[in-house]
Structure 1
Amino acid sequence: MEQKKSLKITGMTCANCARIVEKSLLKIDGVKFAAVNLATNTAFVITEKEVSDDVFQKAVESVGYGISNEPIEAIEEKRLRRIKHNTFTALFVTIPLMVLMLLHMAGKHIPFFKEIELIFSAIVIFYAGRDTIRGATIALLHKHSNMDTLIFFGAVTAWLTNVITYFGVDVHPFGTIGAMIVSLHLVGRYIESSLRDKASKQVKELLALQSKEARIVTDKGEFLVPIDAVKQGHVVFVKPGERIPADGIIIEGFSLIDESMITGESVPVEKGINDEVVGGALNLTGAIKLRVTRVGEDAFLSKMLSLVQEAQGAKVPIQQLADTITNYFVPTIIFLALLSAAFWYFNFDYLNNLTHSIRMVLPWSLHTADRLSFAVFVFLTTVVIACPCALGLATPMALIVGTSLAAKKGLLIRNAEAIQTVKSVGYVLLDKTGTITYGKPRVVVQNIPEEEKPKIKHVTKLSAHPLSKAIAEYLDGYDTPQAVEEFEEIHGRGLKARIGFDEYLIGKPRDSSMYEEYTSKGMSIVEVHKNGEIIGFFALEDTVREDAKEAIRRLRSHGIIPVMVTGDNEKTANHVAKIVGIDEIFASVKPEEKMDIVRKYQSTGKKVIMVGDGINDAAALKAADIGIAIGSGSDLAIDSADIILTKGGISKIADVISISKVTFSAIRTNLLFAFLYNIIAIPLAMMGLLHPAIAEGAMAMSSITVILNSMNIRKKFQKFENFVNTSSCCSYIFGRSKNAKNT
């Protein structure tokens, strides 16, 4: 049986670390898929059989990393605190050392400077930078390389020049440069970690919604217990201002519930007896009691978090090129650094004359006649300028922000590949019932005599049919007790019952043509007979979602054609399509035919989104390029979907298209920047036109820039939406003006 598992990985510092852990996990017997995310320090694994935690632990530890059972936020907090300590220690030593170096270079006599530089640069490199050296050592012992390897080679090589100078070898000492490399690396890593922590804020906010305790009500009183002790069936008391600890149904009380952090809906919702509430929502106004229906991994919030983290840990196709390059990046850079150092050493006079005029205007360039010193200088610069981290973070950082933004909007992106696929979408196929409409009929017209309404209510209350339930709900205020006898539900006809001496038949009309005025608008008619005589009727309709019309407009503004695909009759389908503005309609469609319609539109060469909520939509959701399920729909439909709408109407589809486009745009920008940075910076370093300290600072900035660009997704989404809406309105006004002129 297929199982999914998320692991918290410790010790990773760059994209190569993630790749090594991923390869090790894939070697485990029974593991069919593994994806390791550097940005979240997590691994997502799919196994085809039961695999114990010990097996995962051994596989990760065998390549030098670890698995923690601590909450991911606690791990990140410790990591950030440790990096901060090391960073400030390094700066505390390096800044005075730099001042002494500059004074020494200016001709000032600094007593024992050689010894000071040797000792204090060692403190920075081997104490403040011990985690970097540990990371590099682990990588080298396990026959692979990572970002720490480059810093290790650069910093230690720089420090060794001080050692050999101390023993009389004539070479320019770079010990302070080694300390600067480590210090700048730590500063960059601290800023990067802080930004990554901030970027994943939305998931942390979702985690914070999980209550730690619950107030359980029993026959012996109320007890405050840990949330882990709450079980299905327990009655929980929630005071105003408290978070609801678990999913449940209200059995007592009435309140306004704020579900904004979970569903994206900003307006609080009125909830009373028999209404469902989800754990993590905020109880605003009244005290309520609820019976717990779901706890632990089955709870809505837990599932939501699991799906969000699963999507953030996944990979999109565009990342494959970056991963392939990263695999060979560090060994290639070390080879290029050695090659350029050797080239400079053996061709120093020619290359020095060739680049002399350029280096003279660069204040940071090394001016020396010693070929060994310059060869070491070029080696150091080339090693530290290269940045595989920017390549490794380009995609996962954008996915973290994009999927978190989607979660806040009430969208769960289960399949990260949808981020890339959506940009090519040409058609959105929409089921009608439960998707464009609420899937819940309501009475819109009736002419029943007042004295008959209590009797009809008590008859319809006995049926589970959607139309009967809608009528009973409509007549909810008529509470006069009625003794219903001989109740019978007749298939294809309706409800039959006796109240006192009167016989009632509530159901299908004798002559539908009498109600053409209503049926032409897609309404359903329930006729009421008393002792064989018609006494009135109910006209019911499945109400169109409030945001449906706006959603269709927004989809068209993205250049996407909406299509209705429904099993309902043609009259009803045409009526609803006319209300919301859909031109292409497929009515009376069987479940298996929905998949054929998906294939038909795919054959045009454009990608297809299918939106549905029922079991009959599952096959079409799976067949479509992107399947979107309404969260209130069937489990099978939800399991078949790539994206789930946790709450709200189909306007969320336009949101996910905008979020996906902006997120994919950020991924492309990140990768482009990362590639360009390395393509430009590495040759300059090999030519001796950069300084190691500047190179390290630039390397750190490349990663930070990628993260900042990813964090900007939220602002870009808002700007993109404003632009699309403005363009759409202009097109609409222009179209109206043109039509008026033609008229």
Structure 2
Amino acid sequence: MEQIKKSFVVTGMTCATCARTVEKALNRIEGVEFAAVNLATSTGFIVAEKEIPIEVIRATVEQVGYGISTEPVEEIEKKRYANAKRNLMLAWFATIPLAVMMLWHMFFNHFSYLVWFEIFLGGFVIFYAARDTIKGAWIALTHKHTNMDTLIFLGSVVSWFTAVLEAVRVPIVSFGTIGAMIVAFHITGRFIESHLRDRASKEIKALLKLQAKEARVITEKGEIMVPVEAIKEGLNISVLPSERIPADGLVVGGSSSVDESVISGESIPVHKKANDEVIGGSLNLTSPLRIEVTKVGEDSFLSQMINLVQQTQGSKIPIQALADRITMWFVPVIIFLAIISSFIWYLNFHRFTPFLNQVSSFIPWIMNTTEPISFAVFVFVATIVIACPCALGLAIPMALVAGTGLAAKRGLLIRNAEAIQTCKDVKVALMDKTGTITKGEPTVVQHNLDEHTLKTVASIERNSSHPLAKAISSAVKEHFEIKEIEEIPGEGVKARVGENLYFVGKPVNTSAYETFYKDGKTVVEVRMNDETISFLAIEDTLREDAQEAINKLKAMGIEPIMLTGDNHTVAVAVAKKVGIQKVYSNVKPQDKLDIVRRFQAEGFRVVMVGDGMNDAGALKGADVGIAVGSGTDLAIDSADIIIKKGGISKVSDAIEISKKTFTVIRQNLFWAFFYNIIAIPSAMAGLLHPLVAEIAMVLSSITVVLNSLRIK
């Protein structure tokens, strides 16, 4: 049964707990086999055994207090940015004069009306400018869970309420201004964090911008500009120089250089002429082109590429489970610790006073008060505010967004996010020969067939997707239809033509063709009624980057090994040219998977690189499967990573990106844990001012995001 995959935008999330809550709800939908929600990209992703209507998904998400948006991502981000900017300005508009008054009150003249300013201006900041935070906390409370907004709301409201208590003559120090400043710094941090997160996902935005808005359709009456949504397969469109190609198609008129760099990662323009394929989103450079549209909408290469990147960025990797388990209990534990520590200080304040006097000589922000209740509130607010599950929640998703974005920029599509974690540990690289190490564009260089037999063999091979079959079928211009045909993977093709049974494939006696094999040529034998009647010698040139790629893998400590169904002499000749020592030749498709498992049983992480139908099993069974993008659909569907354009040099790129991404993930997790391990006990001990705690919390989240951006 085919799995249905769907991505969507989730609104209203503010921290890792929110994402986990939505994820749990999605997993409860009948028919959903897997669900993942990514805080860094505000996206949800499900894999289902049947089609799940978007209305069902929306209702499920709304039940736990969040939303689903069908608006374009750019529009959502524009509104979010405008709203965040407005709230930021409002918060500081009230907080700055309040802070000035507080400092004047502390260091110059006593300001008797300060408490009323704290009540009204502080209340404006906390209950209006930070209304989104209150909304987030309320959603969490009404759905029986907690999140980061819960901590900010508790800390700021408790601080503000002390101003109310002081106004009615309760003997307590007012923290009203501190409450407003906590919120102002929190909103500032969210604004900066959001901006940096947008920067981290700029590759997916660049892909979205490649989608043309209009197309110049050629009709009997001339050219008409229509919205790109209105074009259909089979229409002819005209693309002028400096215009983006609006849809996938085939060149039917003109020739031009086309820039495919954003899509393929290759900076050199590609010359396109009649019958060449073009990709929607690429840029026409030099001359007008007439293109017949072959794919539109969700079927186009660009749309599939965007969907793959979004799905990967919305997915999770195994190490994420650790962070998820911690954030699940983080906020409730922090609230409990804040309450316990404030009670301990309230009951033992006079006993701990000598300790406070001692540390206040080198920690200037220690609160100077004789009221136990005031210091208990001070400790409660500081402990609540210092806790930062946001940094922990962003540590992995932000690195994943940056890593997959860099991969897309390098011409790699990561279909399975787990490959990011696995690729770094690869020690063995198994590679197919034809179409992987070689270009996969073989040509017939010699044969001994008469014209009629050559046409028959070419017509038989036209029904196969193997690169060698394509080389033979292109040897003649005209073909005829053959109905009774059977392809035997790794062997060849059988077909009945008239009264004769033909077989085109591996020779029975390879020694007869040894001369060809030593030159690196492949021989395909033709048998009729089990009798050998002729042969074709086929040559496939090496990819330009093959030798350099092999050398790079060796330098990384990875052993490159060739797996091929081809003759041993040919395989060794090709392997020698690129520097591969170990070769498995005459390998059948099922044997490739056995070889993969053999290395895995010896404790090696294995990457399999291939492009053919006969590589699909090995690609699926390897720890990481990498398919060359020009290969068969089955190979691509079986792979974890797709090389959009280019050769095996991209394999080392994938491994480098994996190592770099996982290094950053480790650093992010270390600093998120280290920060909380140091900061929370310090706040509980009364050594952190709530304002210092809030600034530290904001900086920890920003540090995680900035560190993730280093991947790029």
TM-score by length of 2: 0.91
Equivalents in 1 of 2:403, 2:118: separation in Å? 47
Equivalents in 2 of 1:4, 1:514: separation in Å? 52
Q: Is the 8 A contact 2:428 2:606 kept in 1?
A: yes
Q: Secondary structure at the match of 1:440?
A: coil
Equivalents in 1 of 2:403, 2:709: separation in Å? 9
Deviation of the 1:106 alpha carbon? 1.6
Match 2:579 to one of 559, 578, 581: 581
Q: Is the 8 A contact 2:115 2:167 kept in 1?
A: yes
Equivalents in 1 of 2:320, 2:481: separation in Å? 64
Deviation of the 1:255 alpha carbon? 0.5
Equivalents in 1 of 2:510, 2:337: separation in Å? 84
Equivalents in 1 of 2:417, 2:474: separation in Å? 42
Deviation of the 1:360 alpha carbon? 2.7
Match of 2:666 in 1: 668
Which amino acid is 1:90 matched to?
A: A
- Structure 1 range deviating more: 701-710 or 53-62: 53-62
1:96-135 counterparts in 2 under 5 A?
A: 96-110=97-111, 112-135=113-136
Q: 1:679 to 1:574 in 2, by over 3 A?
A: same
Q: 1:508 to 1:628 in 2, by over 3 A?
A: closer
Deviation of the 1:33 alpha carbon? 0.8
Q: How many residues align?
A: 686
Equivalents in 1 of 2:327, 2:694: separation in Å? 18
Equivalents in 1 of 2:55, 2:308: separation in Å? 24
Q: Secondary structure at the match of 1:223?
A: strand
Query: Cα deviations across residues 243-290 of structure 1 (Å, max 9, x unaligned)?
Result: 010111101110001000001001000110000111110000110011
Which amino acid is 1:59 matched to?
A: T
Deviation of the 1:408 alpha carbon? 1.0
Q: 1:516 to 1:487 in 2, by over 3 A?
A: farther
List alignment gaps of at least 5 residues for structure 2.
486-491, 495-504, 526-534
Q: 1:552 to 1:678 in 2, by over 3 A?
A: same
Deviation of the 1:488 alpha carbon? 12
Q: Secondary structure at the match of 1:143?
A: coil
Which amino acid is 2:635 matched to?
A: A
Match of 1:543 in 2: 541
Query: Cα deviations across residues 506-531 of structure 1 (Å, max 9, x unaligned)?
Result: x999x99997654311224799xxxx
Q: Is the 8 A contact 1:385 1:681 kept in 2?
A: yes
Equivalents in 1 of 2:47, 2:33: separation in Å? 6
Query: Cα deviations across residues 512-558 of structure 1 (Å, max 9, x unaligned)?
Result: 9997654311224799xxxxxxxxx9964111111111111111111
Q: 1:360 to 1:493 in 2, by over 3 A?
A: closer
Deviation of the 1:216 alpha carbon? 1.1
1:95-174 counterparts in 2 under 5 A?
A: 95-110=96-111, 112-174=113-175
Match of 1:327 in 2: 328
Deviation of the 1:107 alpha carbon? 3.9
Deviation of the 1:626 alpha carbon? 0.8
Match of 1:553 in 2: 551
Match of 2:314 in 1: 313
- Structure 1 range deviating more: 328-337 or 353-362: 353-362
Q: 1:101 to 1:557 in 2, by over 3 A?
A: same
Question: 2:237 matched to 1:236?
Answer: yes
Deviation of the 1:113 alpha carbon? 2.0
Q: Is the 8 A contact 2:122 2:179 kept in 1?
A: yes
Deviation of the 1:49 alpha carbon? 1.9
Which amino acid is 1:339 matched to?
A: I
Q: Secondary structure at the match of 1:543?
A: coil
Q: Secondary structure at the match of 1:347?
A: helix
Match of 1:563 in 2: 561
Deviation of the 1:111 alpha carbon? 5.4
Q: 1:524 to 1:601 in 2, by over 3 A?
A: closer
Match 1:613 to one of 611, 618, 623: 611
Deviation of the 1:423 alpha carbon? 2.0
Q: Is the 8 A contact 2:216 2:237 kept in 1?
A: yes
Q: 1:27 to 1:171 in 2, by over 3 A?
A: same
Deviation of the 1:187 alpha carbon? 0.6
Equivalents in 1 of 2:621, 2:349: separation in Å? 64
Which amino acid is 1:95 matched to?
A: I
Equivalents in 2 of 1:596, 1:493: separation in Å? 24
Equivalents in 1 of 2:5, 2:493: separation in Å? 48
Match of 1:602 in 2: 600
Q: Is the 8 A contact 1:460 1:468 kept in 2?
A: no
Q: Secondary structure at the match of 1:248?
A: strand
Q: Secondary structure at the match of 2:686?
A: coil
Q: Is the 8 A contact 1:37 1:396 kept in 2?
A: yes
1:222-301 counterparts in 2 under 5 A?
A: 222-301=223-302
Q: 1:365 to 1:284 in 2, by over 3 A?
A: same
Equivalents in 2 of 1:667, 1:488: separation in Å? 56
TM-score by length of 1: 0.87
Which amino acid is 2:569 matched to?
A: K
Equivalents in 2 of 1:331, 1:613: separation in Å? 51
Query: Cα deviations across residues 448-478 of structure 1 (Å, max 9, x unaligned)?
Result: xxxx99x9999999886677975897999xx
Equivalents in 2 of 1:442, 1:241: separation in Å? 35
Question: 2:645 matched to 1:647?
Answer: yes
Q: 1:469 to 1:11 in 2, by over 3 A?
A: closer
Q: Secondary structure at the match of 1:430?
A: strand
* Root mean square deviation of aligned Cα: 3.2
Q: Secondary structure at the match of 1:563?
A: strand
Query: Cα deviations across residues 158-187 of structure 1 (Å, max 9, x unaligned)?
Result: 000011111110100000000000000011
Match of 2:71 in 1: 70
Q: Secondary structure at the match of 2:232?
A: coil
Q: 1:548 to 1:348 in 2, by over 3 A?
A: same
Match of 2:695 in 1: 697
Q: Is the 8 A contact 1:314 1:416 kept in 2?
A: yes
Q: 1:236 to 1:486 in 2, by over 3 A?
A: closer
Match of 1:361 in 2: 362
Which amino acid is 1:237 matched to?
A: S
Query: Cα deviations across residues 356-390 of structure 1 (Å, max 9, x unaligned)?
Result: 21123211121111110000000010000000000
Q: 1:462 to 1:66 in 2, by over 3 A?
A: closer
Equivalents in 2 of 1:179, 1:25: separation in Å? 36
Match of 2:7 in 1: 6
Q: Secondary structure at the match of 1:135?
A: helix
Q: Is the 8 A contact 1:114 1:162 kept in 2?
A: yes
Q: Is the 8 A contact 1:610 1:621 kept in 2?
A: yes
- Structure 1 range deviating more: 1-10 or 660-669: 1-10
Q: Is the 8 A contact 1:460 1:469 kept in 2?
A: no
Equivalents in 1 of 2:676, 2:481: separation in Å? 79
Q: Is the 8 A contact 2:455 2:476 kept in 1?
A: no
Match 1:521 to one of 498, 512, 519: 519
Q: 1:473 to 1:615 in 2, by over 3 A?
A: closer
Q: Secondary structure at the match of 1:633?
A: coil
Q: Is the 8 A contact 1:436 1:548 kept in 2?
A: yes
Equivalents in 1 of 2:662, 2:474: separation in Å? 46
Deviation of the 1:444 alpha carbon? 6.4
Equivalents in 1 of 2:512, 2:401: separation in Å? 58
Question: 2:590 matched to 1:627?
Answer: no
Equivalents in 2 of 1:553, 1:277: separation in Å? 33
Equivalents in 2 of 1:255, 1:626: separation in Å? 37
Deviation of the 1:354 alpha carbon? 2.2
Which amino acid is 1:34 matched to?
A: A
Equivalents in 1 of 2:375, 2:493: separation in Å? 96
Deviation of the 1:233 alpha carbon? 1.1
Equivalents in 1 of 2:470, 2:424: separation in Å? 42
Q: Secondary structure at the match of 1:627?
A: strand
Q: 1:470 to 1:25 in 2, by over 3 A?
A: closer
Equivalents in 1 of 2:181, 2:169: separation in Å? 24
Match of 1:434 in 2: 435
Q: Is the 8 A contact 2:672 2:700 kept in 1?
A: yes
Which amino acid is 2:621 matched to?
A: A
Equivalents in 2 of 1:486, 1:470: separation in Å? 17
- Structure 1 range deviating more: 125-134 or 652-661: 125-134
Which amino acid is 1:198 matched to?
A: R
Query: Cα deviations across residues 96-152 of structure 1 (Å, max 9, x unaligned)?
Result: 111110110124143522212211111111111111111111111111111000000
Match of 1:730 in 2: none
Q: Secondary structure at the match of 2:5?
A: strand
